[in-house]
Structure formats: structure tokens, C-alpha cells
């Protein structure tokens, strides 16, 4: 895949910022490398017995394409809730060489069924990250980078199960030991971050699956010690920051990335001082972004940037109360993007859900000040996670 100098990011950070474009891979993610490497390394007799994987995303598509390329019979297990688009993409890449089985409500149920099927049918299981042949395949990303560019100061690597980080990190520490390897995870799924703190892999009780390509509950048993050895720093990126990065890349550079693919670029602000005048590479892990997710991506971005706020406003049940709010409380550039009465009763007040979009985050304090001035009875929903999850 291409290694491209980003003129816009280089100018912004006063550095040489290169993008390793795994979103331009034939299946639009680096996952093909590991799956193909492991499958092509199998003895022919094992490969002909057939291979199995469990995945709802990029690993399934890389696996399917590898089956077609190698002429192997493959079975892909996906959870029942997998979006149709991902199921269809997987079938498209694998054609007649694969069968998709939709089993289980969760990925864990699906994976258990896949491993059971593998044993019963004497086939070979191809894991998403926790195998040395998978790690070796992902390491070719690092090999390609160093074939094109030397004198690299930093490489920013997304971390899910740790296969890419272990592979790329190992290659760089062997052939470019001065390069710092920065691992990146979403704030809502810090499995590597917490494992490094604990000194061993731990299972997270719950995770935010929004950055689905890097959202795993437990880091790999094989990948963890390698990552621990090669990582110079581990950084958590807010999901909202990821969303803002996706939108900027699309609007300014016409690059379509999935949430996990945006982690590297999303982290640059946090390292702005360190990377000034340096040469850095951000690995864009994939570009399989479902267009149906764009409204949620925009919503999360606006909230993260402090431009979108939700309130529960208890309006007085008298004529003109809403008009007063619009005329006196709302700023000249503020926009109501959502309004719905939660219940209208004969009581003195009626609660309404109000969504307000600002043009600048600095307008927020003025808005709250006017609410107090005009004695508006309100609650900020953005600050109440339970209420926010229920209503928004």
C-alpha cells in the first residue's frame, strides 16, 4: 500500500507527517496480511481440509479474500447482529470459496461456536491476532514503510488485539531501533493500556464498541509481551476526537477512514510539541466505514467539540413561555436541532428535551448565564451518562 506525505498535516504540526494507507488495501484494511500469511504458511494437506474464522469485521474480509486467492474452503462465523453490509462484503471477497454462518447474539458466543465447529470438522482456526504467523503478516506493514522511508522518529500504531503493534513494533525495533512506537487505543476500550498497568493481560468488564476495529475486552496472550517490549508509549484517544478526525479527513483530504483507522491522526494533537520538526508515520489501519454511521459520527464529534448540548427544560405551562426562551435565552447564532415535549400535563411545568448547536464552544457559558438570568429550570443531559444514553 502507498506511503503518502500529508501536506495538510505536515503544515499543521510543522513536521513531516506520512500516512501508511492500509485503507487502500484490496479489502480496505491491513487484516488481509496476517490472514493470508498464516493460511499460505499451512501445509497443503491442512489448507485443503478447510479453514475457519470468527469475525464481524475486517478479519473476516481478509480471511475471505485469502480463501479465494489460495483456493481454500473457508467458513466465516459472524454474530447474528452483524450488519448486512459487512456480511455481503465478506461474501463478495470470498465468492464461492466461503460459507458465512450467522450464529450467536454476541461475538463471544460466535467465537465459541466457530472453535467447536473447527474441532468437529478437523479444520484449522485462523485467529484475528493471537498467533505468530498473524503477527508476522502484519509486520509487513512496517517492512514496507522502512523500504520507502528512513530516519523516522515516531510511528503511531492503532491497537486492538495487538497483532499490528507487535508485528510493526518488532520490525522497527530490529531495523530502526531509534524510532519511537506509540500505541493508540480508544478511551472506551483500553485493554492494552490496563494490561500494561497490571503487568499482564486482563479482561475488561465492559467496553465501548464504537471504535469497533480496536475494541477488544482482552489483549492477546502472545501479542502482549511483544507489545510491552516494543512500545515507547501508550495513548488513549477519546471517541469524540476520533469522530472529528474522520470528518476532517473526509472533508479536507477526501480520505474515508473507519474509526480505528483514524486513531493515529487523532492522537497527533497530544504529541504536537514532541513531533515538531520530526518525521512521523501514522498507520491508517482501515477504511471500512459504514455510511449509515455518519450521523452518529457527526453527533459524537459535535458533542466532543463542545458545540452540541442537550437539556431537559421544564417550561412553565403558560402562553409565551417557549417564545421567551427563543427570544431571550437562545443566542443569535445558536440553533435548536431537537425539540420534543417529554409529557404535557396540567401541571405548572412541562419538561421538554432541547438540543442546541452552537457555532463556538465559548458560547456555552453565555447560554447557561442567560438561562439563570431568565430563571429557566433545566438539567444538562450531556453531564448525566445514564440519562444521556436513555434519551439521546
With a cut of 70, list the residues of the chain below it in pLDDT: 343-347
For residue 80, what is the DSSP state? T
Q: Is 102 exposed, middle or buried (0-12, 13-18, 19+ CB in 10 A)?
A: middle
pLDDT number for residue 177: 98
pLDDT number for residue 344: 63
Q: Residue 320 belongs to a domain with what CATH number?
A: 3.30.70.260
Domain count, the chain: 3
Same domain, 112 and 174: no
Structural domain of residue 259, as residue ranges? 3-28+135-298
Same domain, 174 and 225: yes
Residue at a domain's end among 270, 298, 326: 298
Q: Residue 127 belongs to a domain with what CATH number?
A: 3.40.50.1100
Q: Detail the DSSP E strand segments found in the chain.
A: 3-5, 16-21, 51-54, 74-78, 98-102, 124-125, 154-158, 180-186, 233-237, 279-284, 308-316, 335-341, 349-357, 377-380
Residues whose CB is less than 8 angstroms from the CB of residue 201 and which lie 6 or more positions away in sequence, other chains included: 191, 195, 218, 219, 220, 221, 224
CA separation, residue 163 to residues 62, 65, 222, 228 (Å): 14, 19, 9, 12
CB distance 66 to 60 below 8 Å: no
pLDDT number for residue 135: 99
Residue at a domain's end among 104, 132, 160: 132
Render pLDDT for 145-155 as a digit per residue (tens, 0 to 9). Answer: 999 999 999 99
pLDDT number for residue 321: 86
pLDDT number for residue 349: 77
pTM score, whole prediction = 0.92
Residue at a domain's end among 93, 110, 132: 132
Same domain, 250 and 374: no
Same domain, 123 and 152: no
Same domain, 68 and 112: yes
pLDDT number for residue 345: 61
d(CA 162, CA 197) in angstroms, rounded, equals 16
Same domain, 254 and 343: no
pLDDT number for residue 246: 98
Amino acid at each position: 500500500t502507498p506511503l503518502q506525505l500529508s501536506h495538510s498535516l505536515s503544515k499543521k504540526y510543522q513536521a513531516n507527517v506520512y500516512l501508511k494507507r492500509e485503507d487502500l488495501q484490496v479489502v480496505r484494511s491491513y487484516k488481509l496480511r496476517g490472514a493470508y500469511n498464516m493460511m499460505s504458511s499451512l501445509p497443503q494437506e491442512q489448507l485443503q481440509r478447510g479453514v475457519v474464522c470468527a469475525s464481524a469485521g475486517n478479519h473476516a474480509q481478509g480471511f475471505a479474500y485469502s480463501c479465494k486467492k489460495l483456493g481454500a474452503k473457508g467458513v466465516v462465523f459472524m454474530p447474528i447482529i452483524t450488519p448486512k453490509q459487512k456480511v455481503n462484503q465478506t461474501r463478495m471477497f470470498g465468492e464461492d470459496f466461503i460459507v458465512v454462518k450467522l450464529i450467536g447474539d454476541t461475538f463471544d458466543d460466535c467465537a465459541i461456536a466457530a472453535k467447536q465447529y473447527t474441532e468437529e470438522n478437523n479444520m484449522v482456526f485462523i485467529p484475528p491476532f493471537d498467533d505468530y504467523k498473524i503477527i508476522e503478516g502484519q509486520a509487513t506493514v512496517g517492512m514496507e514503510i522502512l523500504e520507502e522511508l528512513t530516519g523516522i522518529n515516531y510511528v503511531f500504531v492503532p491497537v486492538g488485539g495487538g497483532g499490528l503493534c507487535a508485528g510493526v513494533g518488532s520490525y522497527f525495533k530490529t531495523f530502526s531501533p531509534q524510532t519511537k512506537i506509540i500505541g493508540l487505543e480508544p478511551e472506551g476500550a483500553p485493554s492494552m493500556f490496563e494490561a500494561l498497568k497490571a503487568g499482564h493481560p486482563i479482561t475488561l468488564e465492559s467496553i465501548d464498541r464504537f471504535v469497533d476495529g480496536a475494541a477488544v475486552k482482552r489483549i492477546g496472550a502472545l501479542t502482549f509481551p511483544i507489545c510491552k517490549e516494543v512500545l515507547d508509549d501508550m495513548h488513549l484517544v477519546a471517541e469524540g476526537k476520533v469522530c472529528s478526525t474522520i470528518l476532517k479527513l473526509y472533508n479536507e483530504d477526501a480520505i474515508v477512514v473507519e474509526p480505528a483507522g483514524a486513531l493515529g491522526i487523532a492522537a497527533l494533537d497530544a504529541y504536537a510539541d514532541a513531533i515538531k520538526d520530526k518525521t512521523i508515520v501514522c498507520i491508517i489501519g482501515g477504511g471500512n466505514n459504514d455510511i449509515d454511521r455518519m450521523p452518529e459520527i457527526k453527533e459524537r464529534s459535535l458533542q466532543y467539540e463542545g458545540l452540541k448540548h442537550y437539556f431537559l427544560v421544564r417550561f412553565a405551562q403558560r402562553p409565551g413561555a417557549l417564545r421567551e426562551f427563543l427570544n431571550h435565552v437562545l443566542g443569535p447564532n445558536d440553533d435548536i436541532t431537537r425539540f420534543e415535549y417529554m409529557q404535557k400535563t396540567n401541571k405548572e411545568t412541562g419538561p421538554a428535551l432541547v438540543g442546541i448547536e452552537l457555532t463556538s464552544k465559548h458560547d456555552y457559558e453565555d447560554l447557561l448565564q442567560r438561562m439563570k438570568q431568565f430563571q429557566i429550570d433545566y438539567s444538562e443531559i450531556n453531564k448525566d451518562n445514564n440519562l444521556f444514553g436513555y434519551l439521546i
